[in-house]
């Protein structure tokens, strides 16, 4: 989807065939990524150099920079390496970090994906490691190219949504249109995930009324209250100078706009990063850590939130922006929805959908919502997003801590292990 191409509504209909790759666990991916995973920042450069000749291929670099272990980061990397969009994994270790690499290898091996560990200290340094890594990646690309495809239904999909670089138009056009796309996809059996509780302050009681059970509604209120308490401790909330310059006045006003991207479906449950929705439906992702603040601001940028949505199984992510954002992501495509018509005119090469047409009166929320839905489905029909075409594969993962979900958070799980 080149940014210079005409931006018209997709002709896709939900009964048309989509295709992807079937994994051993029964899940289906819309991409077949070779993931190169650095297990400490000291191995990051070598991982980037291994990937360098494969620009234009689905070879993505992800990783964790920290040297001491963290259960959240370990779980996130394991969930990303066994994501439906991932076909093979190369783990790049310096050799002396504390990341539990053997556990990672066992997890990926159990998923029946090709996996290899490259240890720089044992291989003989940078040049030898890069050469060996490139040889392995090249072989996996050739093998993955021969894998057969299977049909995919909308009910197989998990879709996330986020808003970033928000302005006064975000809650008027882009977010409501994303919410309409969610309603359409939930009705067809997809799992849709919206976030984040730190940008939903003031909307907790509205969300409570939409919960499928009273107990879940109570959990939603408590989850938002946790975010308020956390931000109070930090002395800083999820409201930026750019939001104010874009016409937003308070976190409550920003929250109302962010809330609009959830649509109108019943809320089926609360997730935490790395927890996959047990069924189709609409889910709230809680990204604010549990316990006392230990690791700083909950999410250092939009990319970190996108990665948490992907770790929950999102095949693709809707990114609504008013002021303009150019980021994409490793592992899963990011579909950029521009809320502001002036921003779209300046940055249309980075955008996939012009929701600003709603403000101009040339389109409706329903029409743009359907366009978003159709373009998401097109991603499983050889379609690509603008950020993919431009080579955006951003990745961010930091330290966090989370407690296990309680049974009231996922009523549809019916006691299944979380």
pLDDT, mean over the chain: 90
Residue 82 in this model has a pLDDT that exceeds 90: yes
Taking the C-alpha atoms of residue 308 and residue 285, their distance in angstroms, rounded to an integer, is 9
- Of residues 291 and 12, more confidently modeled: 291
pLDDT digits (tens, 9 = 90+) for 99-147: 999 999 999 999 999 999 999 999 999 999 999 999 999 999 999 999 9
| Percentage of the residues of the chain whose pLDDT score is greater than 90 | 78
**Mean per-residue pLDDT, 203-224:** 96
Give the per-residue pLDDT at 136: 98
Kindly state the average pLDDT of the residues 1-25: 58
pLDDT > 70? residue 2 = no
Q: In the chain, where are the structural domains located?
A: 21-145, 155-407
CA distances from 51 to 44, 165, 301, 377, 380 (A): 11, 30, 24, 28, 24
DSSP state, residue 98: -
Rounded to whole angstroms, the Cα distance separating 41 from 39 reads 7
Bridge partner list, 33: 86
**Tokens 């976030």 — which residue?**
195
Whether residue 69 is predicted with pLDDT greater than 60 in this model: the reply is yes
Are the C-beta atoms of 359 and 173 separated by less than 8 Å?
Answer: yes
pLDDT band with cut points at 50, 70 and 90 for residue 14: very low
Dmax (CA) of the chain: 63
The predicted structure's pLDDT at residue 47: 98
DSSP string, 215-226: HHHHHHHHHHHH
DSSP 312-324: TT-SEEEEEESS-
- What are 86's strand-pairing partners? 33
Mean pLDDT to the nearest integer, 59-71: 96
Mean pLDDT in residue range 6-18? 48
pLDDT band at 11 (very low <50, low <70, confident <90, very high): very low
315: left (phi over 0), alpha (psi -120 to 50) or beta: alpha
Any idea what the Cα angle at residue 406 is, between residues 400 and 412, rounded to 5°? 115
CATH fold for domain 21-145: Rossmann fold (3.40.50)
Q: What is the mean pLDDT of the segment spanning 8-14?
A: 39
Inter-residue contact 403 to 312 (CB < 8 Å): no
Average pLDDT over residues 350-372: 96
Q: Is the pLDDT of residue 244 over 60?
A: no
**Structure-token match 């950029």, residue found:** 336
Residues 320, 302 contacting (CB under 8 angstroms): no
Is the pLDDT at 282 greater than 80, yes or no? yes
| pLDDT tier, 254 (very low <50, low <70, confident <90, very high otherwise) | low
Alpha carbon distances (Å) from 156 to 150, 151, 185: 12, 10, 11
pLDDT at 170: 83
């Amino acid at each position: 989807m080149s940014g210079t191409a005409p931006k018209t509504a997709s002709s896709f209909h939900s009964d048309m065939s989509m295709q992807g790759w079937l994994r051993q666990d029964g899940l289906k991916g819309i991409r077949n990524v070779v993931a190169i995973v650095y297990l400490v920042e000291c191995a990051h450069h070598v991982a980037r150099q291994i990937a360098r000749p494969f620009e234009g291929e689905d070879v993505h670099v992800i990783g964790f920079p920290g040297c001491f272990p963290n259960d959240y980061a370990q779980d996130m990397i394991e969930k990303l390496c066994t994501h439906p969009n991932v076909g093979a994994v190369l783990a790049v270790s310096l050799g002396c970090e504390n990341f539990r690499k053997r556990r990672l290898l066992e997890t990926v091996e159990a998923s029946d994906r090709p996996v290899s560990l490259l240890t720089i200290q044992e291989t003989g340094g940078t040049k030898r490691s890069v050469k060996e890594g490139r040889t392995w990646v090249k072989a996996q690309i050739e093998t993955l190219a021969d894998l057969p495809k299977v049909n995919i239904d909308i009910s197989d999909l998990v879709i996330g949504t986020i808003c970033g670089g928000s302005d006064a138009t975000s809650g008027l056009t882009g977010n409501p249109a994303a919410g309409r796309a969610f309603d359409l996809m939930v009705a067809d059996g997809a799992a849709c995930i919206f976030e984040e509780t730190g940008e939903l302050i003031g909307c907790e009681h509205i969300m409570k009324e939409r919960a499928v059970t009273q107990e879940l509604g109570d959990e939603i209120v408590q989850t938002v209250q946790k975010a308020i308490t956390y931000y109070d401790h930090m002395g800083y909330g999820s409201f930026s100078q750019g939001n104010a310059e874009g016409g937003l006045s308070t976190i409550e006003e920003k929250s109302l706009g962010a809330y609009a991207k959830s649509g109108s479906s019943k809320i089926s449950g609360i997730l935490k990063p790395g927890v996959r929705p047990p069924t189709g439906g609409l889910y709230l992702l809680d990204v604010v850590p549990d316990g006392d603040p230990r690791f700083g601001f909950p999410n250092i940028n939009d990319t970190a939130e996108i990665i948490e949505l992907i770790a929950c199984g999102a095949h693709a992510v809707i990114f609504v922006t008013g002021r303009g954002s150019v980021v994409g992501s490793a592992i899963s495509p990011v579909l950029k929805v521009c809320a502001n018509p002036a921003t779209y005119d300046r940055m249309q090469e980075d955008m996939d959908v012009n929701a600003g047409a709603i403000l101009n009166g040339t389109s409706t929320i329903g029409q743009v919502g359907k366009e978003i839905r159709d373009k998401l489905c097109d991603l499983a029909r050889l379609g690509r997003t603008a950020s993919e075409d431009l080579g955006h594969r951003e990745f961010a993962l930091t330290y966090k801590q989370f407690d296990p979900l309680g049974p009231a958070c996922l009523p549809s799980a019916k006691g299944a292990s979380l």
